[in-house]
Amino acid sequence: MASQKPHQLHFVLFPLMSPGHFIPIIDMAKLLAQHGPTVTIITTPLIAARFSHTINRAAATGLPLRLLHLPFPVEAGLPNGCETLETVTSKDLLKKFFVAIDMLRQPFEQLLEQLEPSPTCMIVDKHLPWAAETARKFRIPGIVFDGMSCFYLFCLHTLYVSKVHESVPVSEPFVLPNFPDTIVLTRSQLPGMFNPSSLIDMQDFRERVRVAEAEAYGTVVNSFHELEQSYVNGIRKVKGEKVWCIGPLSLCNKDSSDKAQRGNKASIDEMECLKWLDEQEPGSVIYACLGSISRLSPPQLIELGSGLELSGRPFVWVIRGNEKAENVYKWIEEDGFEERVKGRGLVIRGWAPQVLILDHPSVGAFLTHCGWNSTLEGVCAGVPLVTWPIFAEQFINEKLVEVVLEIGVSVGARSAVELFEDDKCAAVAVEREAVRKAVEEVMAGGAEAKERRKRAREYGEMAKKAVEEGGSSYLNVELLIQDMMEHVNGMGPKEEHE
Per the CB < 8 A criterion, the answer to whether 392 and 434 are in contact is no
Q: How much is the pLDDT for 1?
A: 40
Per the CB < 8 A criterion, the answer to whether 70 and 41 are in contact is no
Per the CB < 8 A criterion, the answer to whether 183 and 189 are in contact is no
* Predicted confidence (pLDDT) per residue in 380-433, tens digit: 999 999 999 998 899 999 999 999 999 999 999 999 887 666 555 556 789 999
From residue 276, give the alpha-carbon distance in Å to each of 136, 177, 305, 342, 480: 53, 48, 19, 11, 42
Residue 162 pLDDT > 50, yes or no? yes
Task: Report the candidate in 119, 148, 149 with the shortest Cα–Cα distance to residue 134.
Answer: 119
From residue 123, give the alpha-carbon distance in Å to each of 22, 35, 244: 12, 16, 12
Average pLDDT on 303-329 reads: 90
Percent of the chain with pLDDT over 90: 76
Per the CB < 8 A criterion, the answer to whether 344 and 370 are in contact is no
Q: How much is the pLDDT for 77?
A: 95
Average pLDDT on 154-175 reads: 95
Q: How much is the pLDDT for 280?
A: 97
Residue 28 pLDDT > 90, yes or no? yes
Q: How much is the pLDDT for 221?
A: 98
Residue 200 pLDDT > 60, yes or no? no
Q: How much is the pLDDT for 4?
A: 61
Q: How much is the pLDDT for 293?
A: 72
Domain residues of the chain, as ranges? 6-246+468-488, 266-462
Task: Give the 3-state secondary structure of residue 185.
Answer: strand
Q: How much is the pLDDT for 292?
A: 74
Residue 19 pLDDT > 80, yes or no? yes
Per the CB < 8 A criterion, the answer to whether 308 and 404 are in contact is no
Fold of 6-246+468-488: Rossmann fold (3.40.50)
pLDDT band, residue 252 (cuts 50/70/90): very high
Average pLDDT on 468-490 reads: 95
Q: How much is the pLDDT for 130?
A: 97
* Predicted confidence (pLDDT) per residue in 262-286, tens digit: 656 666 888 899 999 999 999 999 9
**pTM, full prediction:** 0.94
- CATH, domain range 266-462: 3.40.50.2000
* Predicted confidence (pLDDT) per residue in 108-156, tens digit: 999 999 999 999 999 999 999 999 999 999 999 999 998 999 999 999 9
Per the CB < 8 A criterion, the answer to whether 146 and 37 are in contact is no
Domain 266-462 in the same topology as domain 6-246+468-488 = yes
Residue 207 pLDDT > 80, yes or no? yes
User: Which residues does 67 contact at the CB level (< 8 Å), separation at least 6?
Assistant: 40, 41, 43, 48, 51, 52, 55, 56
Task: Report the candidate in 275, 308, 278, 272 with the shortest Cα–Cα distance to residue 290.
Answer: 308
In what order do the strands lie in the sheet containing 363-368? Answer: 345-349, 315-319, 285-289, 363-368, 385-387, 408-410
Q: Mean pLDDT lowest for which of 47-61, 135-149, 189-203?
A: 189-203
Mean pLDDT (the chain) is 91
Distance CA 95, CA 98 (A): 5
497 or 469: which leads in pLDDT:
469
Residue 309 pLDDT > 80, yes or no? yes
